[in-house]
Structures are given as structure tokens and as C-alpha cells.
Amino acid sequence: MAPAGAKRNILERLDAGEIVIGDGGFVFALEKRGYVKAGPWTPEAAAEHPEAVRQLHREFLRAGSNVMQTFTFYASDDKLENRGNAQRFTGAQINEAACDLAREVANEGDAMVAGGVSQTPSYLSCKSEAEVKGIFTRQLNVFVKKNVDFMIAEYFEHVEEAEWAVQVLKTSGKPVCASLCIGPDGDLNGVSPGDCAVRLVKAGANIVGINCHFDPMTCVKTVKMMKEGVERAGLKAHYMVQPLAYHTPDCNCQGFIDLPEFPFGLEPRILTRWDMHKYAREAFNVGIRFIGGCCGFEPYHIRAVAEELATERGYLPAASVKHGNWGAGLEMHTKPWVRARARRDYWEKLKPASGRPECPSMSTPDSWGVTKGHADLMQHKEATSLDDLHTKMIKSYSLDF
């Protein structure tokens, strides 16, 4: 159980040296459960199926999460209306429903509510700074109305757009996190992780880091580069990491979205709960104190993070009552060879097989090499045409061969 007492905000916890555990990847988790459509990846479920979103929040809370992040990923009006994505709900309705669900579950435990914004089609289509900031402002107005505890600007491929988001969120007076979806090579304009972090801190971010696109160890490495950059600049910040739950050693600078398995064939890459122990320890060792997950993370992954750091946190999550330390529950199994696996050294040394003898261990990612302003990334409300799909298929095949 978490320690009793009044809830403190995220900066009070981090300033005290505490570990804050985030939640997991709602978009992917709810897509697998039948509540999110792959492609637009938009969060209508907060208004359409609140019971599904509420249940996932509760599972992450029980697994050890201290943060209930509003299910508002891609909940900006321009994204909700992009490429023929018809809506029954407005962006404001979705954002309000998501805030209410996150607060309801946060109040069931020692959790904070984070209002989140993410990159926009408008930025990719070269809309003005004022137009892009206006989109963030409309989301922020809901977060302020619902009195969330802090803000997260997450999943930004370009540090410039993340700076704009931070500048808007900072007007709330709440703590602000800024999280880029980049790897060690930097953002899609080639700005290094260290320089990205400096720019975000100067824009007003209290906590900076990485989420999505890459596996845990790659993300931890990138946050370490950000930390080094901030320290070289003589600035101060806290650090966060919320990576994929997929192994991505073969990714290029665009991350897992360029893998041919994205998004429907990624399961063979999933990290085990024991991999998550290693991730949590490595993140802690480099000085990261806000540790969570993104796409692919399920509650059992977050439970593994919480169990690895239980000594430092002083308690285990509620869900550990159904999970013996390092597989200790297997001592109750009927088969002796399975009981023999109830030990840490067995699981730490295991090299899991995929069971796919005809499959390679790594893939060749697509490498379109395009970013903001390129014709292929110009966004619009109309549905994608057959001619457009045909053109992109030809280009994809030419890259493959």
C-alpha cells in the first residue's frame, strides 16, 4: 500500500527524491481491446466507452502508477477531423470526459492527474505558430477547468512544436513536463537530445524526457543525453522516461513507426516483465525519477517497474498480492519443473524464444526521410483517396527493392 497522507504535487515528490511511476500506453492497449481505431489513434473512447477507459486506469493504479494521464492523446480538433475521421464528439467533450475519468480513479489512490497534449497535423502542414498554439490552448482550457494536477506535452518529433506546447501549458501555473519521441540522433530536424532538453527547459518545462518510438534502453540512453545537455548549460530539471514496450534495435531515427511490423505485427517484440525490471533499474541509476511507459505497456509491465523499485519507494503495489517476487508464486504449481522456476536467477538469465523459426530477429525499416513541410505529410480533412494510397504503395515498394 502507498503511504497515507495528503497528496502532494509532482514537483514536491520529485524535489524530495521520490520515484513517480507513470502509467502505460492507452492507445495501443485500448486498440487491442476494441475501443480505439488504428490509423487515426484518437481517444473517442473516453466519451464513447468510459467504462473501458476507467477500467484501464484502475488496472494501472493497482499496478503501481502514481499518475493517471488523461486519455487525450491526439485529442486536438485538427487531429480528430483528419483524413475523413468522422466524429460524434467534439474535442472539448472528449477532453472533459477524459479528465473526469482520470480524476475519478486517481481519487481511489495516491495518484495525480496529468493533462496531456501531443503533436498536431497543423504543425506538420506548416500552419503558423499562433494557429498551432491556439490548438494547444483549446485543450489547456479544459485542463484548467477540470483542475488537473500537472501538464504533459508528449510525443513531439520536433522540438520547436514542443516548445510552443510548453509555452502554452506554462500559462496554467501548473508544473509542466515535456517529452519528445526521439532517439539518440535527435529530433527530425537533427537537433541533438541535449540541445532539445535545454530549449524545453528554457521554454518553461520543469520535467523533460522521452516517450514512445523506441525501446526502454534506447529511451533511457537518450534521456541521459538530455540530462547531460541541461547540466552543461547550467540549468536544472527533473527527468522522465515513458518508452515503448517493444524491442527496437533495428529502428532508424523515426522509431518503430518505420518498422514493417508497425502496428499490427509487433507482438514478437514485446518486452517481458523481467525486461522491465532491468529497464526500471537502469532508469533509476541514471537519475530518472518519473518512470512509466507508452505504447505496448500493459499493467503487468508497470507492476514490474514498481516491484523493481519497491525498496526505494518503500512499498509494493496492490497488484503484487497476486504476483510473488521473481515468480515466487510458482512454488505453488503442481508440476515440479515449473516450481523449479520460482527463482530470480532463472528469469534473469532466460533468453526467450519467439517460436517463429522462419522469421528474422530484426527487420529493415522504411526510410522515407520526410518531415514537416513535405508534401507527403500535408494533412487534410478529406479521406485518403485510392489514388493517394496507390502512389504511396509504389513509393514503399521502391524503397523495399
- Tell me the Cα Rg of the chain: 21
Q: How many Cα atoms sit within 13 Å of 392 on the Cβ side?
A: 13
Element (H, E) at 277: helix 273-285
Which residues does 332 contact at the CB level (< 8 Å), separation at least 6? 339
Pick left, alpha or beta for residue 385 (phi over 0 → left; psi -120 to 50 → alpha; otherwise beta). Answer: beta
- Do the annotations mark residue 253 as ligand-binding? no
Element (H, E) at 153: strand 150-156
Q: Which of 197, 111, 195 is nearest to 148 (CA)?
A: 111
DSSP code string of 155-196: EESSHHHHHHHHHHHGGGSS-EEEEE--BTTBSTT---HHHH
Report in angstroms the alpha-carbon separations of 36 from 39, 73, 117, 269, 348: 9, 11, 18, 21, 34
- Do the annotations mark residue 181 as ligand-binding? no
- Do the annotations mark residue 99 as ligand-binding? no
Question: How many C-beta neighbours within 10 Å does residue 287 have?
Answer: 12
Please give the annotated binding residues, written as ranges.
212, 294-295
Please give the annotated binding residues for Zn(2+), written as ranges.
212, 294-295
